[in-house]
């Protein structure tokens, strides 16, 4: 069987590169940095072993080039490790290795899907589709460059709070750019892309970070006002009506994304991000109730008004009825069949049929993984995501400034929401949204933005883990600004 071009490459000489990030004279590598390096080596071995399993299953033998590519992958993330040692020496030691492990599995799975698509095309007498794994490797290199730049440029995350309102304006501009007639491009029914020559970019991936900076900076200044109690109902304390403006604006903006760009996933993600960080800032469950009520109102209105939302919802609720398994629900049904074929332990890497699912390397890569790695592999990946979110929240808890607390919490929540929405859609828990799986799905915009998120979380964790700093952690909001009585109104100046 003729497959993709064989893996070829030369071993990477890192002598000059390592010299650029020297360890200070007389300094010893701290235990947590040694732990990070060990976990990165394990992530490299895991990716190499997975690639070897795919090549062995498809070609029947393992070439030395597999180990060369494994060495190159380990070298890329080793450079990221050196950047952390140089620019954030006290940062969390687990975030980087877990992101590397997900990225390695994603690259291997994209390569596996490329092989399957090529074999199916040749069997049917069609021209093989373009490969994606090599381009994804280039995007990984660019993502690590962005990762290093974020660490090198942003030496103190608190400086970002000065540009909170500017970030809000830039984030909204990035959201609106795909709607422009010249640069905007519609792909798979959603107008989310900017097209510059042969390249496409999804600005919403970057805007979620920029808007999170705005949300965190805005709520640092307004959290006391938003925490004021107006009245109590069913044991919950509700804010004043005049303070509902921010959540109404966020709700309308998310509906605007849904209307203009026809993207249900980004709309849900942005509103969910704002709602989470608003709850963290005020510690008022009433904001969650108000947000959920607005979400349900918007969901019902969207279903009644927009045809593409009706198609998504009907395909989700009635996936196996009528001719939907062969039409509007074909992608969802094939993904569920892939999960069923994988069972508990999977068919094994290289032994499944992931090419049967449309968009197997982007929206439905979870189904491809579930088929070949089974429920065991899916659960292991979800555990890694859970650990990344947990360590991000830990950085938020330990931050010594309210802005850092809310920024770390919001970024971690955005990762958690994106994983839930993406995996939940493929598993038919919620309607399909079209979001990518962080670090695993094919897509340059996604991996670059998520690498920047990891860099920001490392920067925040470095700020409170430094041994030389004795500054106590700041409270998230002033308890004295909250009314003692459920019906008392506290006015702030």
pLDDT for res 241:
54
Q: What mean pLDDT is predicted for residues 91-108?
A: 94
> Which residue's structure tokens are 């109104």?
489
Cα distance between residue 130 and residue 109, in whole Å: 16
Cα distance between residue 328 and residue 308, in whole Å: 11
Termini Cα distance of the chain: 74
pLDDT for res 238:
57
Q: Which two tokens stand for residue 27?
A: 């300094």
- Within 8 A by CB and 6+ apart from 320, the residues are 329, 333
Burial pattern 191-222, b for ≥16 Cβ within 10 A else e, equals ebbbeeeeeebbbbbbbbbbbbbbbbbbbbeb
Cα distance between residue 296 and residue 290, in whole Å: 10
Burial pattern 279-299, b for ≥16 Cβ within 10 A else e, equals bbbbebebbeebbeebbeebb
Whether 388 has a pLDDT exceeding 70, the answer reads: yes
Q: What mean pLDDT is predicted for residues 302-313?
A: 79
Residue 6 maps to a domain: no
- Within 8 A by CB and 6+ apart from 325, the residues are 319, 333
Whether 467 has a pLDDT exceeding 80, the answer reads: no
Cα distance between residue 191 and residue 182, in whole Å: 12
CB atoms within 10 A of CB 235: 7
Minimum mean pLDDT among 81-90, 190-199, 361-370: which range?
Answer: 190-199
Domain housing 290: 15-481
If one counts the domains in the chain, the total is 1
Whether 297 has a pLDDT exceeding 90, the answer reads: no
Nearest in space to 99 (alpha carbons), one of 133, 154, 144: 144
Residue 207 maps to a domain: yes
> Which residue's structure tokens are 């939302």?
309
Cα distance between residue 113 and residue 84, in whole Å: 33
Whether 240 has a pLDDT exceeding 50, the answer reads: yes
φ/ψ of 186, rounded to 5, equals -100, 125
pLDDT for res 307:
76
- Within 8 A by CB and 6+ apart from 206, the residues are 174, 445, 448, 449, 452
Whether 3 has a pLDDT exceeding 50, the answer reads: no
Cα distance between residue 29 and residue 392, in whole Å: 23
Specify the pTM. 0.84
Residue 490 maps to a domain: no
Nearest in space to 404 (alpha carbons), one of 480, 467, 459: 459
Instruction: Kindly report, residue by residue over 110-126, the tens digit of the pLDDT.
Output: 999 999 988 888 888 88
Residue 363 maps to a domain: yes
Its sign, for the CA torsion 27, 30, 35, 40, is negative
Instruction: Kindly report, residue by residue over 166-177, the tens digit of the pLDDT.
Output: 888 888 777 777
Residue 233 maps to a domain: yes
Paired sense of beta strands 231-233 and 236-238, if any: antiparallel
């Amino acid at each position: 069987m003729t497959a993709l071009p064989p893996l070829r490459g030369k071993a990477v000489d890192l002598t000059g590169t390592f010299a650029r990030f020297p360890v200070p004279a007389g300094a010893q590598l701290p235990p947590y940095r040694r732990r990070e390096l060990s976990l990165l080596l394990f992530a490299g071995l895991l990716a190499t072993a997975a690639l070897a399993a795919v090549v062995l299953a498809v070609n029947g033998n393992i070439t030395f080039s597999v180990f060369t590519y494994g060495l190159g992958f380990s070298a890329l993330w080793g450079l990221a490790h050196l950047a952390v040692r140089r620019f954030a020496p006290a940062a969390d030691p687990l975030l980087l290795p877990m992101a590397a492990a997900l990225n390695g599995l994603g690259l291997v799975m994209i390569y596996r899907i490329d092989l399957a698509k090529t074999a199916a095309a040749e069997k049917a007498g069609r021209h093989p589709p373009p490969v994606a794994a090599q381009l994804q490797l280039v995007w990984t290199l660019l993502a690590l460059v962005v990762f290093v730049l974020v660490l090198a440029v942003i030496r103190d995350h608190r400086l970002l709070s000065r540009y909170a309102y500017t970030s809000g304006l830039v984030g909204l501009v990035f959201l609106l750019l795909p709607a422009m007639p010249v640069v905007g491009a519609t792909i798979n029914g959603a107008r989310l892309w900017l097209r510059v020559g042969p390249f496409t970019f999804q600005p919403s991936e970057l805007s979620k970070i920029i808007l999170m900076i705005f949300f965190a900076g805005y709520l640092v200044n307004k959290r006391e006002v938003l925490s004021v109690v107006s009245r109590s109902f069913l044991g919950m304390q509700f804010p004043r009506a005049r303070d509902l403006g921010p959540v109404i604006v966020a709700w309308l903006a998310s509906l605007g994304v849904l209307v203009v760009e026809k993207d249900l996933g980004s709309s849900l993600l942005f509103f969910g991000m704002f709602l989470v960080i608003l709850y963290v800032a005020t510690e008022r469950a009433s904001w969650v109730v108000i947000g959920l009520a607005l979400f349900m109102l918007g969901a019902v209105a969207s279903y009644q008004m927009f045809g593409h939302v009706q198609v998504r919802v009907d395909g989700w609720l009635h996936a196996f009825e009528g001719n939907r398994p062969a039409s509007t629900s074909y992608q969802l049904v094939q993904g569920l069949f892939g999960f069923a074929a994988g069972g508990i332990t999977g068919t094994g890497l290289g032994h499944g049929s992931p090419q049967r699912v449309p968009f197997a390397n982007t929206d439905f890569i979870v189904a491809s993984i579930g088929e070949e790695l089974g429920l065991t592999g899916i659960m292991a990946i979800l555990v890694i995501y859970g650990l990344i979110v947990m360590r991000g929240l830990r950085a938020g808890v330990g931050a010594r400034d309210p802005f850092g607390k809310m920024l770390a919490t919001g970024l971690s929540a955005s990762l958690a929401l994106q994983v839930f929405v993406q995996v939940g859609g493929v598993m038919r828990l919620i309607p399909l949204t079209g979001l990518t799986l962080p670090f695993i799905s094919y897509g340059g915009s996604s991996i670059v933005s998520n690498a920047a998120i990891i860099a920001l979380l490392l920067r925040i964790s470095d700020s409170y883990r430094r041994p030389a700093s004795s500054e106590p952690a700041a409270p998230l909001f002033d308890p004295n600004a909250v009314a003692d009585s459920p019906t008392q109104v506290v006015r702030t100046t």
